[in-house]
Structure 1
Amino acid sequence: MDEDAGQVQLSMAATEYPELWAFLGGLRPGEILTGTVSAIERFGVFVALDDGPEHPVFPGVGFITHPELSWRDFEAATDVVRVGQRVSCEFLQFDTWNGEARLSLRAMQADPFLHFTDGIVVGHRLTGRVTRLVPFGVFVEVADGVQGLVHLSELSSVPVVPEEVVQVDDQVVVVVTDIDNVRRRLSLSLRQA
């Protein structure tokens, strides 16, 4: 319901599947739910919840989007989970459009970024591996699951393109120039190192 816009969204699915709607409506954000990965799709992962009813359309009443699978970068969801795997997830919200419980698997894991940045300060020298070249700079992995950006302006004291300075998999020494724990961003400099 959007009181400001004077709009109410209605769903016939709630009357067609009262057991599903009652279950989903009874969940609270932050609640821990367990289940089994029932399907892996290119857009996310379905989870058959232990205490949940069957979903009338999808292979599970729980759903995990790619960003909520892991703190670490991955190529495919199968790098993180497999069909049949038991999982514990945090309930995020009731998706009334699809009749799903939106879940987070990564919420059950310690954030490697916050753990790492707790022990460093601006000016700290780090060694890392170049993971990606982009038009505006390069990404460097400085710890397992932690990457920082060396902006183009911090690659060299003279204007360059990333390929002129480094290649993917190069080991480099960088200096921390900024730590943003809220946005989970680590700014680095190759030039200052």
Structure 2
Amino acid sequence: MDWQSESPELRAFLGSLHRGEILSGTVAAIERFGVFVALDNGPSHPTLPGVGFITIPALSWRHIDAPTDVVRVGQRVLCEFLQFDTYNAEARLSLRALEPDPFRAFADRTVVGQELRGTVDRVLPIGVFVDIGDGVLGLVPFREVDGRPAACPPEVFEAGEEISVVVTDIERVHRRVSLGRPDKA
């Protein structure tokens, strides 16, 4: 179906939106790939549950397992307009754009060398991801455990375990926090 000729009202509405504009609506449908939003002042979509769409990364600054961790069908939402997706004829939206960035706040108040307490989020072959507060994750690479390379970690870590870590680097551009283990002096 050619939505442009079938729905001139939809084309006109989407073309009138500006990046950064705040839009309100109701969550119309939740899929594994994102969330459809019926916008308050928007027309209906000829084939989709809503004219607005929020991708998974645009739902929250925090890591989420499913869109239902953030929204539910029928929920009222305020979103920032990102762009007009001309292929799907929808307004790409963001919920997280209207929330403070927890990484930025963490980076502003934390210094390299600072010792923190955190909770082991997951253990991977490259190292241990530690939740150091507000959903900010840092990595203790196994090569850094006890300050020396390791084929396997000298400590056994379990998800949910609380541990002490030291901030070794904060990369604002890439949004990464590198961690090490405190010296056992």
Seen in structure 2, the aligned counterparts of structure 1 residues 33 and 151 have a Cα distance that, compared at 3 Å, is: same
Give the letter for the 2:24 counterpart. Answer: T
Task: Specify the alignment match of 1:7 in structure 2.
Answer: none
CA distance in 2, matches of 1:30, 1:153: 43
Structure 2 unaligned blocks of 5 or more? none
Q: How big is each residue's C-alpha offset from its partner over 1:4-43, in whole Å with a ceiling of 9 and x where there is no partner?
A: xxxxxxx942222111011111111111100000000011
- Length-normalised TM-score, structure 2: 0.93
How many residues are paired up? 183
Q: Which residue of 2 aligns with 1:184?
A: 175
Identity %: 60
Tell me how large the CA RMSD over aligned residues is: 1.7
Match of 1:60 in 2: 50
Q: Please give the secondary structure, in 1, of the residue aligned with 2:109.
A: coil
Inter-partner Cα distance in structure 2 for 1:64 and 1:105: 8
Runs of at least 5 residues in structure 1 that lack an aligned partner in the other structure: 1-10
Matched, 1:155 2:149: no
Q: 1:69-118, CA deviations, whole angstroms, 9 ceiling, x for partnerless residues?
A: 00111111111000000000000010011000000000011111111111
What secondary structure, in the 3-state scheme, does the structure 2 residue paired with 1:118 have? helix
Q: 2:28 aligns with which of 6, 26, 38?
A: 38
Amino acid in structure 1 at the alignment position of 2:128:
V
TM superposition shift of 1:49: 0.2
Distance 2:98 2:154 in 1: 38
TM-score normalized with structure 1 length: 0.89
Q: In the alignment, does 2:27 pair up with 1:51?
A: no
Following superposition, the deviation at residue 161 of structure 1 comes to 2.8
Alignment of 1:1-193 (within 5 A): 12-156=2-146, 157-162=148-153, 164-190=155-181, 192=183
2:36 and 2:96 map into 1 onto residues whose CA distance is 15
